[in-house]
Structure 1
Amino acid sequence: MSLSTDALYKMSDVELLAAYVEARRQFVERKFARDTHRARLAWIRAKMFVGSSGGVTERNMAIDVSEEIARKGQELREMTRDLDLLKIDIDIIAIVIRLRGASAPTGMPGDDAIEGDPEREGP
């Protein structure tokens, strides 16, 4: 999305709300894709662990050095970064809505924070 704040502020109320809704929709779609990717990665790691021989430490080391797991882990980090950037766009649109004096949508269902990040966790 990456609209400038000036462009957002110059939009009509209808256009601004449409941009907000579209950004939220993209956020939910990308979050679902990221979470699905994360679950697949966990499944692959578990499958590799069970299929390997040796002790727990040896199995975990074999999984950690796997090129496939490393590649998929990098893809997951990139998806998380894109998701964070989209969340920033949503937050900027909400700020513009608040600056105009309208009550901004807050606490939408599914608007949870990144795990383990106390700065982004809700009340």
Structure 2
Amino acid sequence: MSLSADALYKMSDVELLAAYVESRRQFVEKKFTRDTHRARLEWIKAKMFTGSSGGVTERNMAIDVSEEIARKGQELREMTRDLDLLKVEVDIIAIVIRSRGASAPAGVQGEDLGGGDHAEREGRSGSSD
């Protein structure tokens, strides 16, 4: 969608709410897709770990140097970036709605649209994202 703040502010209330609903729908769809990819990546890592021989360190090293895991981890990071950008768009639309004097759309006030993903990502290191 990528509308400017000025364009959003000039929209009618109906258009603005429609833009908000569409942005939220896109956000939820992308979040589901990202979370599904994250779960698949973790499953692949677990499968590789159990299928490998050697000690824990050797198994983890084999997973860390796997080209497939690295590629999937990069895809996951790119999906997370796109999701974060979409969240910003949803937040901007909600700000414009609130600036017009209306209360925020239901479910937005106090809700973390990212689902706590930032804290989760910051707590981890490596290519698991």
Do both proteins adopt the same fold according to a TM-score greater than 0.5, normalized to the shorter chain? yes
Residue-pair matches, total: 117
Shift, 1:115, TM fit: 4.3
- Please list the CA deviations of residues 16-61 of structure 1 after superposition, one character each: whole Å capped at 9, or x if unmatched: 0000000000000000000000000000000000110000000000
Amino acid at match of 2:63: I
For structure 2, list consecutive stretches of 5 or more residues without a partner in the other structure.
Answer: 121-129
> Which residue does 1:121 correspond to in 2?
none
Root-mean-square deviation over aligned CA pairs = 1.6
- Please list the CA deviations of residues 79-116 of structure 1 after superposition, one character each: whole Å capped at 9, or x if unmatched: 00000000000000001001111111224878323241
- TM-score of the pair, normalised by structure 1: 0.90
Residues of 2 paired with 1:81 and 1:87: CA distance? 10
Is residue 59 from structure 1 mapped to residue 59 from structure 2 by the alignment? yes
> Which residue does 2:93 correspond to in 1?
93
Identify which range, 4-13 or 97-106, moves more after superposition.
Answer: 97-106
Q: Percent of aligned positions with the same letter in both sequences?
A: 80
Amino acid at match of 2:116: A
Amino acid at match of 1:114: D
Residues of 1 paired with 2:104 and 2:26: CA distance? 19
For structure 1, list consecutive stretches of 5 or more residues without a partner in the other structure.
Answer: 118-123
- TM-score of the pair, normalised by structure 2: 0.86
Q: Give runs of aligned pairs for residues 1-12 of structure 1, distance below 5 A.
A: 1-12=1-12
